[in-house]
Structure 1
Amino acid sequence: MTITDVNAAFAAEKAEQIEAAREPERAFQARIDRGEVRMIGADQYEVLTGWDQGETFTVSRNAEGRIQQILGNHGLDGRADGTIALYASSPAWHGLGQIIPGGTTDIDEVLRLSGLDFEVTTVPAKYEWQGRMREHTDQQHTVRADTGVALGAVGSRYTPIQNRAGFEFLQELVSRYDVVWESAGSLRGGKRVFISIRLPESVTVDAEGINDVVVPYIAVINDHSGNGQFQCVVTPWRPACANTERFAVRDAVTRWAIRHTAGATSQIKEARRTLGLSSHYFEQFAAEETALARTEIAIADFHHAIADLWPLDEDSSKRKQTNQAARLDALNEVFATEAARVGQTAYAAERAITGYLDHLTPRRPPQSMTEEIARATASLEGADDEMKSKAHRRMLQLRTR
């Protein structure tokens, strides 16, 4: 019979826990010692080497002084070793993150590299009243299970959809388990995460003419803060200018979303039906874009479309008039570039408008984000989808005059 010394076992287990807690500290200190990271303030650090060179991040520590969270000042989250919580198959997101050329199919590796290897749990919502703690039975809080950092306040029926479930959802959605992950990352301390895959077949616009190639992606965006749903979007992407061509095409739907409830991600059949993935959406997309590519327009037509998209009242303030003039100048410049490439067509006009929205429209990023990352996030999350759809419909009207 084997006799276990409970005290000795407890001491050994506790020592392992302490050692594990110290490991991130050692990894982080090792980067400082190697000259890869330097302190620039009380809790501010700068990366000196690699893809992340020049980026800064903030380190928060718990009461014992151990690293609790690393948040990059570009808006992407950081890991304990000072690198950025982002995986990409190519130097996307302005060269940040852990790059694996050609990508990987390994979910565990992407979870680790992207900083998504954490689960989300819920805890009771409590408050103090007259010296005593009470519980709000209709609410709870979402927290990271690895650090205990609060992510948001949610209702009592809220059930977290874990990060791994997002990867598995995409695998089941396309009925393939060897998909190469394009990108994955975490924003705002883990409150919002994203995962994307590239579909194997590209889409060609006007194959007999301009032969413009559009790459189809599918992305999952998951919100752990209670302020958003678990959503999946189809995102056509033009590599030549990095424009996101996501807009409504006839009756095709490009977005599917579901609330955080028990069994949410089991509704794969509904997601497939609603998104209509590659066949219906991209066939209609290519047909309509080809029609635009064969529709020549005058510069006046382009200006009328801009006036419809960004209307300006006669009694508008001088500031609004100045902004409108600056916008028109910027759009004219982009249109000229596109027209030189694909002709002075409705297609070039639409490309100019989507390019302006993705790259030039003024953005006011949150304090924790750079303007570049704010733009990338807006494109991913579809901040301008409605405006792009309106522009698409406006260009189609020119085709049918």
Structure 2
Amino acid sequence: MAHELDQTAGKVSFADSRTDAWHHLGQQVGHAMTAREALHAAHLANWNVRKMALVVPQEPVISETGVTTPAPLAVPDQWATVRTNPITGALDVLGVVGNKYEPMQNEASCDLLDALTGESGAVYETAGALRGGRETFVTMKLPESMVFDGIDGTKDRTDFYLAALNSHDGSSKFRFLVTPVRIVCANTQSAAIARAAASFGISHTGGAAVALQEARRALKLSWRYVEAFEQEAAALYAAPMDLDQMRRFAGELVDVDGAESKTTARNRRDTANAIVKLWVSSPTVAPIAGTRWAAYNAVTEYVDHYSKVRAAGDPQSVRALRAVTGGSTAQTLKTNAFRMLQTL
């Protein structure tokens, strides 16, 4: 499935608190969710993720006295992680891990987030599972927003989200990702900000007490990122930009001159022209027109709503999931744009 959301018997492991659904994925709950509501609506509850010993079966031995089957061979220092499928009750294998790996239940992930954000006013917005349950994600809307006064009298608002990403197959740590979202056109901002990291990881080997301590540190760093983002976004908003500067910036961003073939050059030029067109004529960029902040948001609008996707299926859903989980070449384009605009 292109969007990689976990699905069993037609039931998709995804829930969204909103009815306007900026992610455009899965079922919509229609109100801010509690941890319990998010887990049950997204079919994340009662998985009972656990480790089971890995063994290798042996072939039956035929002798004069009959057929015997030797005991299976244990695989040293390796375990399978499994879950109880929330829809069928069957056992699903999720991955292979080592001795030190400690499963973190989906409930424990939400307990951790509740302990962190109970004082901040954050609320659950989305939750879901990917790749057959091997990965899960939860997004929480943080209470703080960034607002600029648009040139047309409107307000240009960016909200901030904390995404919690977990893996049950040993492929990654339990991670936090700070994601600013410009509400007017649902652009996810992936800014590269010096001395204020936007993502943090917690190992599956430390236990609950260590995880909570590390998570509290991560949340403090998240607020530092939000503060730094606001300051640097304000600087971009205060910096004017003309059409010639915008054209040069877009061409350098996608490296048109560095293309190794005519086809690549043409594709990159099309991308640059599409970004410039959004900067000039997009109604969502109009309130902040003529600024470097407008240039950055033209890039994010292109990535989130118009960029090409390689996976089959609904492109809008693929882009939306990419926005939730981060990563990808398209997201890198955003961080590069932010860095370039700071140094023009």
TM-score (norm 2): 0.83
Indicate the residue corresponding to 1:123 in structure 2.
52
The one-letter amino acid paired with 2:77 is D
Alignment partner of 2:140 out of 178, 197, 208: 197
Indicate the residue corresponding to 2:67 in structure 1.
none
Question: Residue 256 of structure 2 contacts residue 265 of structure 2 at CA under 8 Å; is this kept in 1?
Answer: yes
Indicate the residue corresponding to 1:65 in structure 2.
none
Matched, 1:396 2:342: yes
Greater shift, 94-103 or 347-356, is seen at 94-103
Distance in 1 separating the partners of 2:198 and 2:259: 38
For residues 296-322 of structure 1, give each alpha carbon's deviation from its aligned partner in whole angstroms, at most 9, with x where no partner exists.
Answer: 112232233233332245672122122
Indicate the residue corresponding to 2:31 in structure 1.
102
**Alpha carbons of structure 1 residues 109 and 358: separation in structure 2 relative to 1, 3 Å:** same
1:227-242 matched pairs, under 5 angstroms? 227-242=171-186
Question: Residue 191 of structure 2 contacts residue 339 of structure 2 at CA under 8 Å; is this kept in 1?
Answer: no
Question: Residue 116 of structure 2 contacts residue 219 of structure 2 at CA under 8 Å; is this kept in 1?
Answer: no
**Alpha carbons of structure 1 residues 340 and 205: separation in structure 2 relative to 1, 3 Å:** closer
Which segments of structure 1 move beyond 6 Å, counting only runs of 4 or more? 207-210
For residues 275-311 of structure 1, give each alpha carbon's deviation from its aligned partner in whole angstroms, at most 9, with x where no partner exists.
Answer: 4356432222122111111211122322332333322
Question: Residue 255 of structure 2 contacts residue 268 of structure 2 at CA under 8 Å; is this kept in 1?
Answer: no
Question: Residue 119 of structure 1 contacts residue 144 of structure 1 at CA under 8 Å; is this kept in 2?
Answer: yes
The one-letter amino acid paired with 2:55 is K
Matched, 1:354 2:331: no
Question: Residue 171 of structure 1 contacts residue 177 of structure 1 at CA under 8 Å; is this kept in 2?
Answer: no
2:184 counterpart SS class: coil
Indicate the residue corresponding to 1:134 in structure 2.
73
**Alpha carbons of structure 1 residues 155 and 303: separation in structure 2 relative to 1, 3 Å:** farther
**Alpha carbons of structure 1 residues 206 and 127: separation in structure 2 relative to 1, 3 Å:** farther
Per the TM alignment, residue 212 of structure 1 is displaced from its structure 2 partner at its CA by: 1.6
Per the TM alignment, residue 394 of structure 1 is displaced from its structure 2 partner at its CA by: 0.9
Question: Residue 205 of structure 1 contacts residue 286 of structure 1 at CA under 8 Å; is this kept in 2?
Answer: no
Per the TM alignment, residue 236 of structure 1 is displaced from its structure 2 partner at its CA by: 0.8
Question: Residue 292 of structure 1 contacts residue 346 of structure 1 at CA under 8 Å; is this kept in 2?
Answer: yes
Matched, 1:288 2:216: no
**Alpha carbons of structure 1 residues 134 and 280: separation in structure 2 relative to 1, 3 Å:** same
The structure with more radius of gyration: 1
Indicate the residue corresponding to 1:52 in structure 2.
none
Distance in 2 separating the partners of 1:74 and 1:101: 22
Indicate the residue corresponding to 2:162 in structure 1.
218
Question: Residue 204 of structure 1 contacts residue 286 of structure 1 at CA under 8 Å; is this kept in 2?
Answer: no
The one-letter amino acid paired with 1:173 is L
Identity of aligned residues (%): 33
Indicate the residue corresponding to 2:289 in structure 1.
343
Distance in 2 separating the partners of 1:268 and 1:175: 13
Question: Residue 14 of structure 2 contacts residue 126 of structure 2 at CA under 8 Å; is this kept in 1?
Answer: yes
The one-letter amino acid paired with 2:305 is H
Aligned length: 323
- RMSD over aligned CA atoms reads 2.7
**Residue ranges of structure 1 left out of the alignment (5+ in a row):** 1-71
1:256 counterpart SS class: strand
The one-letter amino acid paired with 1:193 is T
Distance in 2 separating the partners of 1:265 and 1:99: 34
For residues 305-344 of structure 1, give each alpha carbon's deviation from its aligned partner in whole angstroms, at most 9, with x where no partner exists.
Answer: 2333322456721221221122122212221225533121
Question: Residue 253 of structure 1 contacts residue 275 of structure 1 at CA under 8 Å; is this kept in 2?
Answer: no
For residues 200-232 of structure 1, give each alpha carbon's deviation from its aligned partner in whole angstroms, at most 9, with x where no partner exists.
Answer: 232223589874211111110111122222101
Indicate the residue corresponding to 1:156 in structure 2.
99
Indicate the residue corresponding to 1:387 in structure 2.
333
The one-letter amino acid paired with 1:187 is L
**Alpha carbons of structure 1 residues 139 and 313: separation in structure 2 relative to 1, 3 Å:** farther
Indicate the residue corresponding to 2:112 in structure 1.
169
Indicate the residue corresponding to 1:114 in structure 2.
42
1:8-27 matched pairs, under 5 angstroms? none
Distance in 2 separating the partners of 1:348 and 1:101: 31
Question: Residue 254 of structure 1 contacts residue 275 of structure 1 at CA under 8 Å; is this kept in 2?
Answer: no
2:143 counterpart SS class: coil
**Alpha carbons of structure 1 residues 195 and 345: separation in structure 2 relative to 1, 3 Å:** same
Distance in 2 separating the partners of 1:211 and 1:90: 21
TM-score (norm 1): 0.72
**Alpha carbons of structure 1 residues 390 and 340: separation in structure 2 relative to 1, 3 Å:** same
Distance in 1 separating the partners of 2:315 and 2:99: 36
Distance in 1 separating the partners of 2:133 and 2:244: 47
Question: Residue 90 of structure 1 contacts residue 100 of structure 1 at CA under 8 Å; is this kept in 2?
Answer: yes
For residues 47-99 of structure 1, give each alpha carbon's deviation from its aligned partner in whole angstroms, at most 9, with x where no partner exists.
Answer: xxxxxxxxxxxxxxxxxxxxxxxxx775323355x443222111326654332
1:136 counterpart SS class: strand
Question: Which of the pair has the greater relative contact order for Cα pairs under 8 Å at 6+ separation?
Answer: 2
The one-letter amino acid paired with 1:159 is E
Question: Residue 237 of structure 2 contacts residue 294 of structure 2 at CA under 8 Å; is this kept in 1?
Answer: yes
Indicate the residue corresponding to 1:87 in structure 2.
15
Question: Residue 206 of structure 1 contacts residue 290 of structure 1 at CA under 8 Å; is this kept in 2?
Answer: no
Question: Residue 199 of structure 1 contacts residue 218 of structure 1 at CA under 8 Å; is this kept in 2?
Answer: yes
For residues 341-392 of structure 1, give each alpha carbon's deviation from its aligned partner in whole angstroms, at most 9, with x where no partner exists.
Answer: 3121101110011222222222222x6x643332122112221554322211
